[in-house]
Structure 1
Amino acid sequence: MTTRDIVQIALFAALMAVLGIFPPLMIPGLGIPVTAQSMGPMLAGGILGARRGGLSMLLFVALVAVGLPLLSGGRGGLGALMGPWSGFIFGWVLAAFLIGWLTERFFARLGLVHSFAFSVLGGVGVVYGVGVPWFAALSGVPLLQAFSASAVAFIPGDLVKAGVAAAVVVAVRRAYPLIRPQAPLLRR
């Protein structure tokens, strides 16, 4: 890992902290905030790639775990990572990795449609795939009820965030590609 990689990982962990400055919007009765931070993994994976994007989210979660108030609303510490909604935060690491992996694989022909699809698959599908079962387990509600309570209201906003992230990823890729394209596989 180069110094440049470390700086980029730290930069995107800092970007997540900046996205946390926007105050959370609480949906009455749910207890799960709508935050700008859910766009961070989409940007990290799409711009940095799988390894660096995933590591940037892992660094962010570690900083929150040690007590830094980096989550939206100024929350931090282990207590902030043990609530019913915390699975969504842990999903950010996997989401950034998956989005980055897909972006690396389709780097040569990455466009807005691909980038949007990757952001939706990772930033919505993976995050909800981790967050909803976590929410169900800690809330003691059936999985389907947990999905309707913890995810359905957030899907439209997350799709908008995926669109914004896709546009940014494609613009950054064209202006200053941080992801190194994958070398073609050698034929035997």
Structure 2
Amino acid sequence: MERNVAQIALFAALIAALGLIPQLTLAFGVPITAQSLGVMLCGTVLGARRGGLAALLFVGLVAIGLPLLAGGRGGLGLFTAPTAGFIIGFPFAAFVTGLVMERLSGIAVGWAAGIAAILGGVVTLYVFGIGGLAFVLGKSVTEAALLVTAFIPGDLIKAVLAGLITAALFRARPHSVLSRS
């Protein structure tokens, strides 16, 4: 139990730490950050339940005002901003990433983690992000989806990195990749 809590807290801190990498804010108000890589790693390393809880802890800390999002942002006001869908989607994305990772147990860890990161950390997160953008900006789902295409190259790179990092961790410490235990 204590180990699970520590791992969940550690990965919430990882998401926060990845927010320290300078962001690039696009014209429609959504920044490109490294934090989605942390969400992907929550799922690929911790699995569905723990990974989702780590991302949920992070979102909870942001909601109470801690400046943990890229650019030092935090607080309830972010849930009415163009980034709201992405923030709300973090726990779901981590959960789906972990679930896919757990289901792909017959595939090599690196490949499974890359596939899981794309399905959970990109596709699932985009569903929430596009919905949030459409709602907050008053755009159609198609218009919001077109805005999000700017993120695709970077997010695919992050998915590959998640696969490589998870595979390296599995080689070095197989028992630490809980999605495989």
Q: How far apart, CA to CA, are the structure 1 residues paired with 2:138 and 2:85?
A: 14
How far 1:42 sits from its partner (Å)?
Answer: 0.6
Q: Is 1:155 the counterpart of 2:135 in the alignment?
A: no
Q: Which residue of 2 aligns with 1:22?
A: 21
Structure 1 residues 60 and 180: alpha-carbon distance in aligned structure 2, compared to 1, 3 A threshold: closer
Which one-letter code corresponds to 1:61 in the other structure? V
Number of the residue aligned with 1:127: 125
Q: Corresponding residue for 2:172?
A: 175
2:162 to 165, 177, 182: 165
Asked if the contact 1:88/1:130 (under 8 Å) is kept, the reply is yes
Find the counterpart in structure 1 of residue 140 from structure 2. Answer: 142
Contact 2:80–2:136 (Cα < 8 Å) also in 1: no
Which has the higher mean CA deviation after the structures are superposed, 108-117 or 6-15?
A: 108-117
Letter in 2 for 1:32: V
Match of 1:185 in 2: none
User: How far is 1:114 from its partner?
Assistant: 2.2
* 85-94 or 156-165, which deviates more: 85-94
Identity of aligned residues (%): 47
**Where do residues 22-101 of structure 1 align in structure 2 (5 Å cutoff)?**
22-27=21-26, 29-101=27-99
> What is the CA distance between 1:174 and its match in structure 2?
2.3
Letter in 2 for 1:140: G
Can you list the C-alpha shifts for 1:48-101, whole angstroms capped at 9, x where unaligned?
Answer: 111110000000000001110000000001112321221011111111111111
Distance (Å, rounded) in 2 between the aligned partners of 1:33 and 1:180: 29
Report the AA paired with residue 20 of structure 1: G
Q: Separation in 1 of the partners of 2:132 and 2:179? A: 35
Structure 1 or 2, whichever has the larger Rg, is 1
List runs of 5+ in structure 2 lacking aligned partners: none
- Indicate conservation of the 8 Å contact 2:85/2:133, yes or no: yes
| Equivalent residue letter for 2:18 | L
Change (3 A) 1:30 1:117: same
Contact 1:46 1:115 in 2 (8 A): yes
Shift of 1:181: 4.2
Please name the residue that 1:186 is paired with.
Answer: none
| Per-residue Cα deviation, 1:142-164 (whole angstroms, up to 9, x for no partner) | 11011112x10110000001111
CA positional deviation for 1:111: 3.0
What 5-or-longer segments of structure 1 have no aligned partner? 183-188
CA RMSD of superposed structures (Å): 1.4
Instruction: Name whichever structure is richer in helix by fraction.
Output: 2
The residue type equivalent to 1:13 in the other structure is A
SS in structure 2 opposite 1:107?
Answer: coil
How many residues matched?
179
